[in-house]
Amino acid sequence: MQQLRPVYTRSLVGRAAETQALLSLLDQPTTRLLTLIGASGTGKTRLALEVIQALETRGAAPQIIFVGLAAITSPELVLPTIARHLDIREDGQLPLIETMSATLADRPLLLVLDNFEQVLAAASVIASLLARLPQLQVLITSQEPLSIAAEQIYAIPGLALPELRDDLAPVEALAAPAVELFVSRLQTVQPHFQLSPDHVAAVVKICQLVEGLPLAIELLAAYSDVFSPSDLLPLIEKNLAIQSLRHTALSGREKILRPVLDWCYSRLKPSEQRVFSCLGVFHGGWNLAALQAVCADILSSAEIAHALKQLQLRNLVLTLQVEGDQERFMMLDAIHEFAARRLRTLPQRAQILRQHAAYFEQLTAQADAGLRGSEQVLWMQRMEYEQPNVRAALAWAYRWQPQTAIQTAINAGQFWYMVGYLSEGVQWYEQMLTLPLDRIQRMTILRKQGLLLKTLGLYEQATAVLHQGLESARALGPEHIISCGSIANTLGMIMTDHGRYAEAQTYLSEAADAMQASGDMMGFAIVRSNQGNLALLLKQFDVALALYNSCLTIEGAAENPLVQALAYTNIGAVNVSLLQPEAALVAAEQGLLLAQQLKSPGIQAMGNLIKAQAHIQQAKLDLVPQELLKAASLFMQSNEQPQLSITLESIAVFLAKSQHRQQAAYLIGAADAARTKIGAPRQGEDTLVEQLLSELASAADAQQLTAQRQRGTTVPFEHALDQALQWLDQLPISPSQP
């Protein structure tokens, strides 16, 4: 998952000493948890990012993962959010913290968690991670401490201020970080401004009024294109005095920042005020198209775009660093809270909330289609950014517009499945099932929930839910025969994974008949492909080849690149089983080319795996590691757990061929455990694996190898896979090695 970091186009001012102090603390092995404490506006996030940049520039740093928590309000979501940033998948049969602990056990890691104050109840999760992972360091920004063992607190003060004297020279004033920041930001709107004796007193007094609070200084300096410092000072003095009376319940720097935000808001034009308030509806960021859709009844698209630009110039909106061409924006947490309060005062608030929910219902519908096409990766990335907004839209609609919530949840199912919001998706579907549903909605939700449960490895629950869905689909009559086919196909895949081949054949036959009868030839081709997979496992190679080849001739599907990519890749798999590596490579290359054009990670991964297996058969071991590394990475991206187990077995075969039998036996044990967990015992379907098992059993050190295999069964699968990938990456292989 890409890390979303705010983009600061201007340098950090006045925090050199703090940056160096934090770097020194992080260099100490005894520093496990370092919490930057400060009120809103002290620049905690900015300082943390500066520390990250310094570590990355310095090199030889541990892996650094930045996780923004501003859009997270439920402590239960903290651990899954961290896991996704680390590309660690949920496993329904193992607590997530155990999966993470096993995967990260030997990995030096600096975890940076921003805006922890609203999820303080998750402090115990951080304590548990630190206890389990000796090489983990955590850097946290928060308004309050976590109050757990090993926490070191670093308080972030306001920027240093000069003492105001009649003879204070500009150069002396500029030596104070608060004044330096004000002048630096003023020069972005007045490039030729120089601090003169005429302005020294006004600038110093402004900085003193806000007690050196960096955010307040930046916000006020942005208005220096309209006011000189001497003109700005009396306005600020008057406003702070008035607003302080209004905000008597606030304390400390909050009593400063709120009046400053009130004043900045009052200086905005009416159109800018409306757009600013509207931004309070978003969570985790937005793009211009979303903002224009949500505010469509308030202003024109051109007015909204202009207002957003002005808010950026006033330092009220930041740009997010994202991949792709589309700009994405965000607010600092303190400013977003203020915008949310302003939203509550807008007469159009209810309409804005409805528009927000409607926009994300439409966006999830577009994503549902896009995730099945050639822009799959782009949609996965886009929806990863939008998940906080989808969450907020669902929560509001569940209470106020149930039908919008139901449809949004249905639309989001494919994204949740592909990106890995598995448990959260299951929970949302549980909530939807409490709403009044028509029969079609109930059947669709059961179908999508069953797929998520299957992916979590909760096969019994998945089967029970899918059976309910299939009964509902059958009861709906012939017009919903496609749904019958889809659910029966998923049940057939589950039975195949479990080695319950007779039941698999029954479900897949029903699915094929349903798809063909409905005229959904794409669906029919996919079911035929799954029937071929079943035949391959049963070593019915001629049947498998016939089924895969038939996919290339089905009218209405054969011309589809996805169908072609699947067919050629699967034909390659059959040729590997037939010990025909040259034919396997030809077919795999054809499938890979199409899969790359489609940007389909699952099919690409299968092509890479087949190429690796064919190269092993050819004894071209130097070509194997790169293919296995690609396959594992792509299978993880596409959430293909059964295929990851097969990949682990192929890595074991390669290691044995490279004279590393101890590691091979260990990985075979891990694959044994994975197969046992999903109820899919090895049926002799992989000739290379069967040869390896025979060699391990007859080796002179068979007793030691058996012990290693047993050890492999005791470790979490993710840990074994991570170790296997490290061995692959580090193992020197000579091109001439037989």
For the beta sheet containing 5-7, the strands, ordered from the edge strand earlier in sequence to the opposite edge, are: 5-7, 318-321, 328-330
Residue from 518, 539, 453 nearest 490 by CA: 453
CA 504 from centre of chain: 33
Residue 477 in tokens? 């009559």
CA separation for the pair 402, 551 (Å, rounded) = 41
Q: How far is CA 391 from CA 37, 361, 387, 409, 657, in A?
A: 28, 11, 6, 10, 49
Q: What number of other Cβ atoms are within 10 A of residue 245's Cβ?
A: 9
Residue from 474, 473, 422, 477 nearest 444 by CA: 473
pLDDT at 737: 44
Q: What share of the chain is helix, strand, coil (3-state, %, to 5)?
A: 65, 5, 25
pLDDT at 242: 59
User: How would residue 490 be classed by pLDDT, with cut points 50, 70 and 90?
Assistant: very high
User: For the chain, how many residues are written?
Assistant: 738
CA separation for the pair 362, 383 (Å, rounded) = 12
Q: With contact defined as beta carbons under 8 Å apart, do 116 and 142 qualify? A: yes
Residue with tokens 């919490």: 35
Q: How far is CA 60 from CA 3, 51, 56, 658, 725, in A?
A: 20, 14, 8, 30, 21
Q: With contact defined as beta carbons under 8 Å apart, do 23 and 194 qualify? A: no
User: How would residue 684 be classed by pLDDT, with cut points 50, 70 and 90?
Assistant: low
Q: Between these two residues, 640 and 228, which has the higher pLDDT value?
A: 228
**If you write DSSP's letter for every residue of 20-69 in order, what string do you get?**
HHHHHHHHSTT--EEEEE--TTS-HHHHHHHHHHHHHHH-SPPEEEEEE-
Q: Is the pLDDT of residue 388 over 60?
A: yes
Digit-coded pLDDT (tens) for 454-481: 888 888 999 999 999 999 999 998 888 9
Tell me the average pLDDT across 588-611.
89
pLDDT at 60: 67
Digit-coded pLDDT (tens) for 190-235: 888 899 999 999 999 999 999 999 999 999 998 887 788 988 899 8
CA separation for the pair 661, 696 (Å, rounded) = 8
Residue 653 in tokens? 């075969």
Q: With contact defined as beta carbons under 8 Å apart, do 115 and 45 qualify? A: yes
User: How would residue 348 be classed by pLDDT, with cut points 50, 70 and 90?
Assistant: very high
Q: How far is CA 458 from CA 64, 201, 282, 369, 468, in A?
A: 32, 68, 34, 27, 16
Q: With contact defined as beta carbons under 8 Å apart, do 243 and 259 qualify? A: yes
pLDDT at 676: 81
pLDDT at 472: 93
Residue 677 in tokens? 């967990």
Exposed/middle/buried for 559, CB within 10 Å: 0-12, 13-18, 19+?
A: exposed
pLDDT at 181: 95
Residue 10 in tokens? 């201007």
Q: Is the pLDDT of residue 497 over 70?
A: yes
Strands 136-142 and 33-37: parallel
Helix (H, G, I), strand (E, B), or coil: what is residue 286? strand
The DSSP element (H or E) to which 320 belongs, if any, is strand 318-321
Phi and psi for 21 in degrees, rounded to 5? -65, -40
Q: Is the pLDDT of residue 615 over 70?
A: yes
Which residue type is seen at 440?
A: I
Q: With contact defined as beta carbons under 8 Å apart, do 114 and 318 qualify? A: no
Burial string for 427-463 (b: 16+ CB within 10 Å, else e) reads ebbeebeeeebeeebbbbbbbbbbbbbbbbbbbebbb
**If you write DSSP's letter for every residue of 414-431 in order, what string do you get?**
HHHHHHT-HHHHHHHHHH
* Weakest-pLDDT range from 40-44, 320-324, 327-331: 320-324
Tell me the average pLDDT across 80-92.
85
User: How would residue 738 be classed by pLDDT, with cut points 50, 70 and 90?
Assistant: very low
Which residue type is seen at 429?
A: Y
Task: Give every CB contact of residue 59 below 8 A, 6+ residues apart in sequence.
Answer: none
Task: Give every CB contact of residue 562 below 8 A, 6+ residues apart in sequence.
Answer: 522, 594, 598, 600, 603
Q: HSE on the CB side for 576, CA within 13 Å?
A: 29
Q: With contact defined as beta carbons under 8 Å apart, do 366 and 414 qualify? A: no
Residue 548 in tokens? 């895969």
Q: What number of other Cβ atoms are within 10 A of residue 6's Cβ?
A: 19
Q: With contact defined as beta carbons under 8 Å apart, do 210 and 179 qualify? A: no
CA separation for the pair 294, 627 (Å, rounded) = 46
Residue with tokens 């580090």: 730
Exposed/middle/buried for 110, CB within 10 Å: 0-12, 13-18, 19+?
A: buried
Q: Is the pLDDT of residue 325 over 60?
A: no
pLDDT at 631: 92
Phi and psi for 399 in degrees, rounded to 5? -85, -40
CA separation for the pair 199, 230 (Å, rounded) = 6
The DSSP element (H or E) to which 401 belongs, if any, is none
Digit-coded pLDDT (tens) for 97-152: 988 887 888 789 999 999 999 899 999 999 999 999 999 999 999 999 999 999 99
User: In the chain, pLDDT over 70 holds for what percent of residues?
Assistant: 94
pLDDT at 736: 40
Q: With contact defined as beta carbons under 8 Å apart, do 547 and 563 qualify? A: no
Q: Is the pLDDT of residue 632 over 70?
A: yes
Residue with tokens 């020069």: 187
pLDDT at 463: 95
Please provide the average confidence, as pLDDT, over all residues in the chain.
89
The DSSP element (H or E) to which 457 belongs, if any, is none
In which region does residue 324 sit, left (phi positive, over 0), alpha (psi from -120 to 50) or beta (all else)? left
- Say whether pTM exceeds 0.85: no
Q: Is the pLDDT of residue 329 over 80?
A: yes
Most confident of 243-257, 366-380, 421-435, 485-499: 421-435
Q: How far is CA 23 from CA 62, 139, 430, in A?
A: 13, 11, 46
The DSSP element (H or E) to which 136 belongs, if any, is strand 136-142
Q: Is the pLDDT of residue 414 over 70?
A: yes
